Amino acid sequence: MTFILDNFIRGMGMKIIFTDSYDQMSRRAANIISAQIILHPQTVLGLATGTTPIGTYQQLINWYEKGDLDFSQVITFNLDEYYGLSGEHPQSYRYFMDTYLFNQININKKNIHIPNGMTSDIDAECAGYDQAIEDAGGIDLQLLGIGRNGHIGFNEPGSSYEKLTHLVTLTENTIQANARLFAKKEEVPTKALTMGMKSIMHAKRILLIANGPAKIQILNQALYGSITPEVPASILQLHPDLTVIASQK
Ligand code: F6R
């Protein structure tokens, strides 16, 4: 009985949409984000970097350019930033966001929040980030990608579900995966500041996007397997409003 009830409760707030292409996945995700902005122009968005959301951001830019979207009152909080990289570093997440989204829309730069990877006071930076999220009224819609090991943000397997923004040491797996973006593997930072699992679970709505066959196995494990810190994304099964958009090809 407990088992049946548990399975019933888990995933009750979950919607899963499969698409046949990256473009369709991106368009669906952008649809959800744009509806949120149109209905609530002062919305607070949680944003992710990585290769997966680039198409979603491009679609949002296209709709902005057509005059269908207005970002002037939108507030954003990014999930994470490498520790030790400044926003001018081409591999920093700040640089990524400026390039793939912020420089191409009418967002007020004052409304953009990304952890400061160059901080000299990590505790103050993390506490200030959490406070800023709270002061903004919390995150209305959090966009997430998923790592092949089930990480979300930089919350690696084994991360506590209790953490807000904090400093993490990246796993070898993640350093390897990210090395493709740096000239040498040795240049990949080994630490990062990330919103914690608790920060993510506090978001009112979550939109997880996953692209291609390489993500299907971990997605299955995260959405239908046991809820365990070894698969950080598995906690999302307990979120009351989770939408997953996965491209199968
Ligand atoms: C980055 C982030 C990461 C990525 C994940 C998937 O801000 O939150 O958790 O979402 O590493 O990355 P891609 O999209 O490159 O497969």
Q: For 189-215, how does the pLDDT look when each residue is reduced to its tens digit (9 = 90+)?
A: 999 999 999 999 999 999 999 999 999
Q: Which whole number is the average pLDDT over 100-107?
A: 98
Q: For 47-101, how does the pLDDT look when each residue is reduced to its tens digit (9 = 90+)?
A: 999 999 999 999 999 999 999 999 999 999 999 999 999 999 999 999 999 999 9
Whether the model pTM is above 0.85: yes
Q: What pLDDT, on a 0 to 100 scale, did the predictor assign at position 11?
A: 63
Model confidence at 8: pLDDT above 80: no
149 catalytic? Reply is yes
| φ/ψ of residue 76, rounded to 5 | -125, 150
Q: How far is the CA of 4 from the centre of ligand 1 (A)?
A: 33
| φ/ψ of residue 108, rounded to 5 | -75, 120
Which atom of ligand 1 is least distant from the CA of 93?
7
80 catalytic? Reply is yes
Q: What 3-state class would DSSP assign to 230? A: coil
Domains of the chain: 15-247 (3.40.50.1360)
Strands (E), the chain: 14-19, 44-47, 75-78, 80-82, 112-113, 141-144, 166-169, 191-194, 205-211, 242-247
Least confident of 34-38, 132-136, 181-185: 181-185
Q: What 3-state class would DSSP assign to 12? A: coil
| φ/ψ of residue 96, rounded to 5 | -55, -50
